Structure formats: C-alpha cells, structure tokens
Amino acid sequence: MRSKELFSDYLRVQKRYSPRTLKIYLESIDELFVYLAPSCEEQLESLMTPANIRSFVAHLLNRGLLPVTVNLKLSAISSFSNFLVKKELLESNPVKKIQRPKTDKKLPGFYTISAMENYFNQELPSKENSINGQEEINVQDQLKRFLKLRDRVVVELLYSTGIRRAELVSLKIHEWDRSRGVIRVTGKGNKVREVPVPNLLAVHLEEYKLLLNEYFSQNTTRHLFLTDSGQPMYLSFVNKIVGRELKGVEGFSGKKSPHMLRHSLATHLLNNGADLNSIKEVLGHSSLAATQIYTHNSFEQLKKVFLTAHPRAKKGG
C-alpha cells in the first residue's frame, strides 16, 4: 500500500528511527491490516475507525499478548494515523479514542555500588606478567590480554558514561577526545551529545586505543570496538561481553546486561546528588519524563536522610 511506503520513508528519513524501531512499527501496521482487511488493501484507511481499532486490541489481548506489547503496537498505529491525517487520507486519529490496556509499572533494576566496586577491583593482567609463568609473553598471550582489556573497557564505558549498547558499537576512534576528556555519542534520532569520561576510564581507553591500532591496523571502518576477528562489534556481542565479565563477581546474581549498567549509573548519580536534568543530558533522553523513572531508586537514600534529620527519629519517636 502506497501510504505505508510513504510512512516508512517518513520514519526513516525525517524521524530517523533506527532499523529495529522501523521494523516494529511496520510489522504492527501490517498486523492491523491483515486483521481488518486481509483481501482488500485499497480500503484500509476507511476501516481505521475507533470501533475497529478497539476490536483489534481485544484480538491481541485474547491472543495472550501482554498489555505493554499491545500498547507498543497502538503507538505505532497512532503514529501512522497521525501521518495519514497530515496527508488528508484520514479525518482524525482513531487511537486517541481508545482506552489503552493498563500495564504494571516496571521499575528499572540496577546493580549496587558495592557490586560495581567488586568488579572494578579485579586486576587486569599486567604487561610484564606472563599468563603461563613464562619469562617472555608470547604473541597469543599478548592478544588475550588485549581482548581482556577490551572487555573491561566495554563494561567500564557502559557504566561510567551510561551510553546505550547501540551507541557503543557505533563509536568511531576519532569520537574519543582525550584532550577534552569526552566521547561524542550519536544517540536515537541521530542526536549527537558529548559525555564526560572519568580519568581512570580515560587511561584505560588510551591504552586500549594504542593496542587496537597495533593489533588491528587494517581497521578500515575506524570503529573503536571490534570483535575478536577484527570486525565492527555488534549488539549481541556486547551482551556476551557483559555477561562474561560480570559472571561470578560478588553482587551480580541476577540479570547481567548492558542496559542494567546504564540503569545503575543513573541510579547512583541520583543517589549521590546529581540533578535530573544533568542525568537526562548524560543519558541522552529526549524528555525529563524518561529520566524520572529513576527517582524510585533513591527512596532508600531519602529514607536514610529523613531518619537522620527528623527530630522525632533522633529521639527514637
């Protein structure tokens, strides 16, 4: 259908949605169309009424889809409807008249500061020490050390800057500015932001970059992070690194993921006095509402301050 093709171009070119988001939106629209008019696509716009959308929602819920998944599909359909209204192919957005399924608010999990310290207190293999007790480190051992350093830097960068894994894999060497102590990150919608890099991470990044140029001198793409074979790193590879690095470290008994490291940084910054606007800029959120979800994690900190400062609490009242 022509309108869907135009919408796809709009999302990709003007909205600059990622391929993954684009796929989710278009699949949701296709699913609606198959449900409403499996054999007469030319009439689809006329079938996009509140009653039909409501029926589609009931169909999805009866299939056992979670409310959060249904709401994601509704968001895609709503965006498409707004596009059709602008193109004068639809009078109004039917999704606005739909009561969305209620979802349980899922609060972001995070690692404790002590767990992160347990990880960072682990020593990296030094340049001088051999791995197998040999006097001289052979080439294979040197490569192992380099890959271990890479994995450590990946985890350290994800936690210390809060960048997304997609932002990490797209980083180029020149986007690490040692003189200013920042990395230039391209986030959602191709929005560019600069994120400060703590001193210790900066030292590790410099060492890693030097070894990267030594081991993968033919890095034509100039990506900052590569796989073991020298190809640009991909999303699932980052997941594997994080899972492998945190495995067995005290304090990491649950889920081990790049996004949990991002959640952890946001929570720790908030608990240590950073304001929401600053955290919003670091994380690259488009609105403050996305950042406010982290305020729940600082409740324990608030409780401690309250019990310490309250006059009745001091007296045991």
Active-site residues: which are they?
A: 164, 188, 259, 262, 285, 294
| φ, ψ (nearest 5 deg) of residue 134 | -85, 160
C-alpha to C-alpha distances, 207 to 153, 169, 183, nearest whole angstrom: 10, 19, 16
Helix (H) or strand (E) holding 199: helix 199-215
If DSSP codes are grouped into helix, strand and coil, which group holds residue 195?
A: strand
* Residue 303 in tokens: 């409780």
C-alpha to C-alpha distances, 251 to 148, 242, 259, 263, nearest whole angstrom: 21, 14, 17, 16
What is the crossing angle of helices 139-161 and 258-271, to 10°? 50
Query: What sign does the dihedral 220-225-228-232 (CA atoms) show?
Result: negative
- CA gap 248, 99 in Å, rounded: 45
If DSSP codes are grouped into helix, strand and coil, which group holds residue 194?
A: strand
| Complete edge-to-edge strand list for the sheet that includes strand 192-196 | 176-177, 182-186, 192-196
